[in-house]
Amino acid sequence: MVYVLVAIAIVVLALLVVAALVIPRSRRGVEAPPPPETLPAGDDAPPGGGVDTAAPPRGSPAGTAATAAPLVDVPVESTIDTADTAPALETPEPTAGRLTRLRARLARSQTTLGRGLLSVLSRDKLDDEAWDEVEEALLAADVGVGATTEIVESLRTRTRVLGTRSQGELRALLSDELVKALRPDLDRTLHSTPEGDRPAVVMVVGVNGTGKTTTCGKLARVLVADGRTVLLGAADTFRAAAADQLATWGSRVGADTVRGPEGGDPASVAFDTVKQGTERKVDTVLIDTAGRLHTKVGLMDELGKVKRVVEKQGPVDETLLVLDATTGQNGLVQARVFTEVVDITGIVLTKLDGTAKGGIVISVQRELGVPVKLIGLGEGADDLAPFEPESFVDALLGDPVP
């Protein structure tokens, strides 16, 4: 009997020990998943406040400025990518004399236009065949028919008057004609100085792929180099990558970027940029726009609306059209569509480093009646130069003969 009681006691004791060990563990098991409110905000957060969680996370591609910014899309208001987190601010090169520094980049245009023309003109006998060659060289460099005819006629007359010609004289003659064709009288000032209590507003338009966003970034550097404060607006809301790209450019020189939700209204981003720029008292607001040439009507609606909405706060001081020099006459056809939609006040001709068709500067100005104000001579951050006809022609013709 005693043995039975002892056995029962041992069994009860064993059960109590097992229970003591197992129950707390199972309790911890129940508590394991954190309550919903302790989930990190973002990834699995329940939808709310009109935020479309089906949309891919914005700003996911790496980029200091993009990741530092608020990443939740707010459908109505734009967000700002601050430049504070940039590892180290860069000091852009001064703009004066950039074209002269970058003159070697025009090497391919130099061979076709400059050296080619000079070698024909220095022949002993300038017969019809020689003049045909001059004409061909000018046309091949995209100078355009009208300007080519004028240049050839003038050169014919002047070489006849000159009689014997030295290399130096020929270079001076050619330089004179090309500079004249580039209309040195045109006003190439970039209107980027604030007036009163509102910043100057610069809008950048053009077909995608021409170098629009890159130009905005480079231009921000040009303005910063010239001592201005800049706020960027990523009104190309159709490509998140474009906004990231712009914010990264801005962050390198301390310029913030206003951006909207992907696919959002470009006009509202442009409006917010000007509003923010005014509140922050920046000197210049630089707005990158979308350049999808889907239909002319679509483009007109979109770009026209951006401009109208911006103008509710004051005039747009400068509307720059970005053109890819390598697309030649095709680019000109596209350019004309833009001039019908908005008043273009200046042209930025990009990729002049990659083409033998440097003469496009002449035909673009002639066709569109708008001055080329800036030229792109490479992918580097400071490869955007103010356009100066004399320095440009000087670079085309190579070093003068001593």
Tokens of 258: 């206003």
Interface map 291-320 toward ligand GDP (x if CB under 6 A): x-----------------------------
User: Which C-beta is closer to ligand GDP: that of 171 or that of 351?
Assistant: 351
Query: Which is it for strands 284-289 and 230-235: parallel, antiparallel or unpaired?
Result: parallel
| Range in contact with ligand GDP (rule: CB under 6 A) among 3-11, 17-25, 204-212, 272-280 | 204-212
Among 110, 214, 268, 276, the residue binding ligand GDP under the rule CB under 6 A is: 214
Stretch that binds ligand GDP, among 115-123, 168-176, 186-194, 201-209 (CB under 6 A): 201-209
Q: Is 376 in the site for ligand GDP (CB under 6 A)?
A: yes
Min CB(216)–ligand GDP separation in Å: 8
Segment contacting ligand GDP (CB under 6 A): 6-14, 188-196, 211-219, 330-338?
211-219
- Is residue 259 at the binding interface for ligand GDP, with CB under 6 A as the rule? no
Q: Which residue is nearest to ligand GDP (CB)?
A: 376
Binding status of residue 212 toward ligand GDP by CB under 6 A? yes
- Applying CB under 6 A, which part among 190-198, 206-214, 255-263, 308-316 lies near ligand GDP? 206-214
Query: In residues, how long is the chain?
Result: 402
73 or 288: CB nearest ligand GDP:
288
Half-sphere exposure of residue 329: CA atoms within 13 angstroms, side-chain side: 7
Binding segment (CB under 6 A) for ligand GDP, from list 62-70, 295-303, 346-354, 360-368: 346-354
Stretch that binds ligand GDP, among 32-40, 55-63, 193-201, 212-220 (CB under 6 A): 212-220
The nearer residue to ligand GDP, 314 or 378, going by C-beta atoms, is 378
> Which residue's entry shows tokens 């074209």?
99
Member of 146, 379, 390, 401 binding ligand GDP (CB under 6 A): 379
Q: Which stretch binds ligand GDP (CB under 6 A): 106-114, 225-233, 254-262, 376-384?
A: 376-384
Q: Which of 168, 209, 315, 369: binder of ligand GDP (CB under 6 A)?
A: 209
| 208 counts as binding ligand GDP under rule CB under 6 A | yes
User: How many angstroms separate the Cα of 183 from the Cα of each of 177, 188, 204, 387?
Assistant: 10, 10, 23, 12
Given 58, 191, 307, 351, the residue binding ligand GDP (CB under 6 A): 351
Q: Does 355 bind ligand GDP (CB under 6 A)?
A: no
User: Closest CB to ligand GDP among 175 and 365?
Assistant: 365
Interaction between residue 103 and ligand GDP (CB under 6 A): no
SS (H, E, C) the chain: CHHHHHHHHHHHHHHHHHHHHHHHHHHHHHHCCCCHHHCCCCCCCCCCCCCCCCCCCCCCCCCHHHHHCCCCCCCCCCEEECCCCCCCCCCCCCCCCHHHHCHHHHHHHHHHHHHHHHHHHCCCCCCHHHHHHHHHHHHHCCCCHHHHHHHHHHHHHHHHHHCCCCHHHHHHHHHHHHHHHCCCCCCCCCCCCCECCECEEEEEECCCCCCHHHHHHHHHHHHHHCCCCEEEEEECCCCHHHHHHHHHHHHHCCCEEEECCCCCCHHHHHHHHHHHHHHCCCCEEEEEECCCCCCHHHHHHHHHHHHHHHCCCCCCCEEEEEEEHHHHHHHHHHHHHHHHHCCCCEEEEECHHHCCCCCHHHHHHHHHCCCEEEEECCCCCCCEEECCHHHHHHHHHCCCCC
From the CB of 116, what's the least distance to ligand GDP, in Å?
22
Interacting residue ranges for ligand GDP, rule: CB under 6 A: 206, 208-214, 291, 350-351, 353-354, 376-379, 383
